[in-house]
Amino acid sequence: MEKNTNNPSEFDIHAVLKPYLSKWYWFLIGVFIALVLAFAYIKTSLPIYNVRSAVLIKDAKKSLGASVGDVGVLEGLSGFGGMSTNSIENELEVFKTKKLARDIVSNNQLQVSIYQTNDIVEKELFGDTSPVAIHIINEKKNKKFPKEPFLLRFEDSQPVLESEEYNISQKVVFGRYISLPFANIIIAKNRLFDSEKVGKIGNQFKIYFNTLEGAASSIQRLVQVDLADKDATIINLSLNYPQTDKAKKILKSLIDSYNKDAILDKNSESQKTKEFIDQRIVKISRELGDVESEKEKFKTDHKITDLMTESKINLESSSDARKKQLELGAQFELNQDLISYLNRQNGYQVLPINIGLDNSESNNNIAAYNKLVIERNRLLENATPQNPIVLDITQQIDSMKKSIEESLKKNKVAIQLALDEYISEQNNIGSKITKIPYQEKLFRSLERQQQIKENLYLLLLQKREETAISLAVVAPKARVVEPAFVSDKPVAPKKIIILLLSLVFGCLLPFVIIYLKELFNTKISSKDDLKLLTKIPIVAEIPAISKNIDHLVKRNDFSQLAESFRILNTNIDFLLPKNADNNVIFVTSSVKGEGKTFVSMNLALTLTNSSRNKVVIIGTDIRNPQLQRYNDGVNPGKGLTEYLYDDHITVDEILFKNPSNDKCDIIYSGTIPPNPTELLTNGRLGMLLEELKVRYNYIIVDTAPLLLVTDTFTFVKHADLELYVTRANFTDKKLIEFANDSVETGKLNNVAFILNDVTKQNFGYGNKYGYGYNNK
């Protein structure tokens, strides 16, 4: 017998581990199944390889806002810093754009994926490994692409296209136009197909179709872009994919599309400059023709052939001033044309540069302005004008445009002042040439205009040639420093990690199942569970027995069942009053089905093993009698109900001998009455117990469940000991609180628990009951 201290601070590691140790085979099975699944997964998974390439970005800056010369000073003063149109970080983002992904898909027909189906694992065919090439000519508007793949098979070398989703099965001709519900396609023989490279190939293939946007999004997710080093301008491109030829093609196409866009961006500036120069050449050519015509007409009208005359010294003195006027005049014209062009410009377009304007500040401002315009146009390919970055660049462009205009106006004023100074000097010299005819002065004026136009014309022709050369010779912005290559070993599946994870999962799953089972288990399963719920002593554990084994203890019985009841017999001696004979022992429970009648019957039989003991068992559960089922051969005419109801019935009339034990008598419940509580409280039961005490050493009273009816509480005062039966894996833990409350309130006295139907692994003393006895 054990008394429970009910101390929750005592941690019993054995109790914690017991549910897991008792189901150790679960873990073995879990690990075995997990390993089998892991090996199956590894066997059926395609190896995934890492394909990498590296490019060097030319003219890229690491630090944002880096600037040199006057442009850097202007950015610092005006607040235009913080955005470098050629920063390496921007180039990283360009590589990730969906526009480039769309170009890759369009240029390589990646909307269609072809897989061979003759193996357990589907294997993608691409390039020279695919016997056919499928091209999507155009997508049909507002039509959804198929979720399931099409099947392409060959019947007598003729392709047949099938789809369960669209209920299609049609023979097609190579190279002919095919109209599908979602797109128009063409299926052609692949001239690059290498049968030796592929080996054995079947005649059925799965065809997966995808939209342009869907395929582009897949490319975006696959390709990884990062810097090789924080201080370098080398970008690493990589992706993990099972079809290595396709992966290498994607990386090469990505680099080609990037360079193509970069060249277009760079040429846009030179193209605008060329257009401006061509317009100016046409205008200057027309003006030069007018000047030459006026000069010719002047000579004809005044019959002049040679103007080099008397004033040679004065003319030589004024040659320097004249030279300066020519240069300043040309600069003035260029400056004025740029101002006019700037005022006429609509939207955000690049400005002509390197047209011969001799002003470094304006040239640098124009160069910086063009970079910002190009950067803005690039961002607008993947963003809206309301994007914060686009708005920031737009503000910078507007501010820069104002700065350019102010710079040109200041330059114009400066040129005009210088020109006025040289004109004034020339006038002073001219006033000294008093002998030069009026005609000569007019001629010199025409000649001077002619020289200005000629110089400007030649300058524009030179700049046009330079611009044409820059358009014709453009090097790629991204130079490939590491062509695409495939890793030596697959990066997936990682066999060691998968096997380790399978081991962990194989152990973890049974652990979680057992833990959840224990967590949500509200039933008592062992003595340890019961000890945690009550301070009431536990006097015995009754083992679970099979249905094909007799449920009653026999004489000279050495089974586990008999041994457990002998321990119960020993333990109750410590709870019964000292030096007292003729004890009344109540056997009760909380609800029906916990085994109180089973315990009552076997306890009575065990008590009779002593030669001096005579025992009687009374079935007081007159609402639901159960004693009769242990003695099916007996047909009692009268029982407790009749005795309580009829004062003339004697004790001897209701006493019956137990067929298997002559020392154990039985008083059956009798007929089920309509008023059980009135009968049990009419006093006759107390009289019966007193008379039985004279005849018997032990009186076992099989009572009604306490939680269901109050019958037992009405006569519990007659009990010397109350045995409270609970059943393993049946009695809810909450019911123990009812027993505790009944003891605390005094409804029950001298109570002890019996745990019935305990499984072998949950025995508090191990599973050794009967050890050495069963083998006799």
* Domain shared by 497 and 462, yes or no: no
pLDDT at residue 244 in the model: 95
Residue 768 phi/psi, 5-degree rounding, is -105, 5
CA pair distance 379, 87, nearest whole angstrom = 14
Q: How many domains does the chain have?
A: 4
Most confident region among 9-13, 228-232, 244-248 by mean pLDDT: 244-248
For residue 54, give the nearest of 236, 254, 253 by alpha carbon. Answer: 236
For residue 106, give the nearest of 150, 143, 136, 140 by alpha carbon. Answer: 136
How would residue 258 be classed by pLDDT, with cut points 50, 70 and 90?
very high
**Residue appearing with tokens 């691409």:** 126
pLDDT at residue 535 in the model: 92
How would residue 81 be classed by pLDDT, with cut points 50, 70 and 90?
very low
pLDDT beyond 90 at 70: no
At 317 the three-state DSSP class reads helix
The predicted model gives 701-719 an average pLDDT of: 90
For 743, the domain range is 527-543+565-762
For residue 153, give the nearest of 121, 126, 131 by alpha carbon. Answer: 131
CA pair distance 680, 604, nearest whole angstrom = 22
pLDDT beyond 80 at 83: no
How would residue 306 be classed by pLDDT, with cut points 50, 70 and 90?
low
Judge whether 474 and 322 are in contact, CB under 8 Å.
no
Q: Percent of the chain, pLDDT > 90?
A: 41
Q: Is residue 313 part of a domain?
A: yes
* 139 CB-contact burial (10 Å; exposed 0-12 / middle 13-18 / buried 19+): middle
Cα 623 to chain centroid distance, Å, stands at 62
Which DSSP string corresponds to 491-514? SBS-HHHHHHHHHHHHHHHHHHHH
At 521 the three-state DSSP class reads coil
CA pair distance 655, 694, nearest whole angstrom = 14
In our burial notation (b when 16+ CB lie closer than 10 A, e otherwise), range 454-474 reads: ebbbebbeebbeebeebeeee
pLDDT beyond 80 at 698: yes
Helix segments in 635-707, DSSP class H = 640-645, 651-654, 676-680, 684-695
Q: Percent of the chain, pLDDT > 70?
A: 88
Q: Provide the 10 A C-beta neighbour count for residue 682.
A: 14
Percent of the chain as helix, strand, coil, to the nearest 5: 50, 15, 35
Q: Is residue 641 part of a domain?
A: yes
Q: Is residue 391 part of a domain?
A: yes
pLDDT at residue 642 in the model: 92
For residue 102, give the nearest of 238, 219, 241, 183 by alpha carbon. Answer: 219
36-50, 308-322, 348-362: the lowest-pLDDT one:
308-322
**Residue appearing with tokens 């298997």:** 660
Mean pLDDT of all residues belonging to the chain: 84
- Helix (H) or strand (E) holding 237, with range, is strand 234-241
The 3 state secondary structure assigned to 542-577 is EECCCCCCCCCCCCCCCCHHHHHHHHHHHHHHCCCC
Residue where one domain finishes, among candidates 262, 288, 312: 262
CATH code for position 635: 3.40.50.300
The predicted model gives 241-246 an average pLDDT of: 94
* Domain shared by 245 and 315, yes or no: no
The predicted model gives 470-478 an average pLDDT of: 76
Most confident region among 5-14, 345-354, 619-628 by mean pLDDT: 619-628
* Domain shared by 160 and 87, yes or no: yes
The predicted model gives 437-443 an average pLDDT of: 69
Q: Is residue 223 part of a domain?
A: yes
pLDDT at residue 765 in the model: 53
Residue where one domain finishes, among candidates 262, 288, 314: 262
At 672 the three-state DSSP class reads coil
* 317 CB-contact burial (10 Å; exposed 0-12 / middle 13-18 / buried 19+): middle
Distances (CA, A) of 365 to 378, 467, 603: 20, 19, 109
* Domain shared by 240 and 285, yes or no: no
Measured distance between the N- and C-terminal CA atoms of the chain, rounded to whole angstroms: 27
- Tens-digit pLDDT profile for residues 367-397: 888 888 888 888 888 888 888 888 888 888 8
* Domain shared by 24 and 64, yes or no: no
More confident call, 749 vs 405: 749
Residue where one domain finishes, among candidates 208, 239, 262: 262
pLDDT at residue 74 in the model: 37
pLDDT beyond 60 at 591: yes
The predicted model gives 205-223 an average pLDDT of: 95
Q: Is residue 555 part of a domain?
A: no
Distances (CA, A) of 450 to 320, 339, 651: 18, 23, 154
pLDDT at residue 165 in the model: 93
* Domain shared by 56 and 79, yes or no: yes
More confident call, 98 vs 21: 98
* Domain shared by 250 and 275, yes or no: no
- Helix (H) or strand (E) holding 136, with range, is strand 132-139
Residue 49 phi/psi, 5-degree rounding, is -110, 155
**Rounded (5°) CA angle 109-111-115:** 95
- Tens-digit pLDDT profile for residues 476-530: 888 999 999 999 999 989 999 999 999 999 999 999 998 888 788 889 988 888 9
Helix segments in 655-732, DSSP class H = 676-680, 684-695, 711-715
CA pair distance 153, 155, nearest whole angstrom = 7
For residue 602, give the nearest of 773, 760, 432, 725 by alpha carbon. Answer: 725
Q: Is residue 554 part of a domain?
A: no
Judge whether 435 and 311 are in contact, CB under 8 Å.
yes
**Rounded (5°) CA angle 766-768-769:** 110
* Domain shared by 150 and 221, yes or no: yes
pLDDT beyond 70 at 776: no
Structure tokens at 509: 């799953």
How would residue 552 be classed by pLDDT, with cut points 50, 70 and 90?
confident
How would residue 309 be classed by pLDDT, with cut points 50, 70 and 90?
low
CA pair distance 729, 314, nearest whole angstrom = 130
pTM of the model: 0.53
Q: Is residue 5 part of a domain?
A: no
DSSP letter, residue 628: G
How would residue 437 be classed by pLDDT, with cut points 50, 70 and 90?
low
* Domain shared by 424 and 314, yes or no: yes
Most confident region among 418-432, 621-635, 660-674 by mean pLDDT: 660-674
Helix segments in 55-194, DSSP class H = 69-78, 88-95, 98-108
CA Rg, the chain, in Å? 54
170-184, 252-266, 294-308, 738-752: the lowest-pLDDT one:
294-308
- Tens-digit pLDDT profile for residues 113-133: 999 876 678 899 999 999 999
CA pair distance 269, 273, nearest whole angstrom = 6
Structure tokens at 4: 């429970």
The predicted model gives 137-144 an average pLDDT of: 92
The predicted model gives 110-114 an average pLDDT of: 95
Angle between helices 69-78 and 360-380 (to 10 degrees): 70
pLDDT beyond 70 at 64: no
Distances (CA, A) of 105 to 146, 184, 291, 375, 697: 18, 17, 59, 25, 98
Q: Is residue 769 part of a domain?
A: no
Judge whether 467 and 270 are in contact, CB under 8 Å.
yes
Residue 601 phi/psi, 5-degree rounding, is -65, -45
pLDDT at residue 287 in the model: 84
Residue type, 177: Y
Q: Is the Cα dihedral 162, 105, 119, 39 positive or negative?
A: negative
Judge whether 735 and 590 are in contact, CB under 8 Å.
yes
* Domain shared by 279 and 414, yes or no: yes
CA pair distance 284, 286, nearest whole angstrom = 5
* Domain shared by 508 and 654, yes or no: no
At 751 the three-state DSSP class reads strand
Distances (CA, A) of 709 to 588, 624, 714, 744: 12, 11, 10, 19
pLDDT at residue 207 in the model: 95
> What is the rounded (10 degree) CA torsion for 443, 444, 450, 456?
-170
pLDDT at residue 389 in the model: 85
Q: Which residues are bridge partners to 159 per DSSP?
A: 154
The predicted model gives 265-287 an average pLDDT of: 83
pLDDT beyond 80 at 758: yes
* Domain shared by 425 and 450, yes or no: yes
Q: Is the Cα dihedral 285, 288, 294, 298 positive or negative?
A: negative
Residue type, 558: F
pLDDT at residue 290 in the model: 84
Judge whether 54 and 234 are in contact, CB under 8 Å.
yes
Judge whether 680 and 649 are in contact, CB under 8 Å.
no
DSSP letter, residue 718: G
CA pair distance 341, 668, nearest whole angstrom = 121
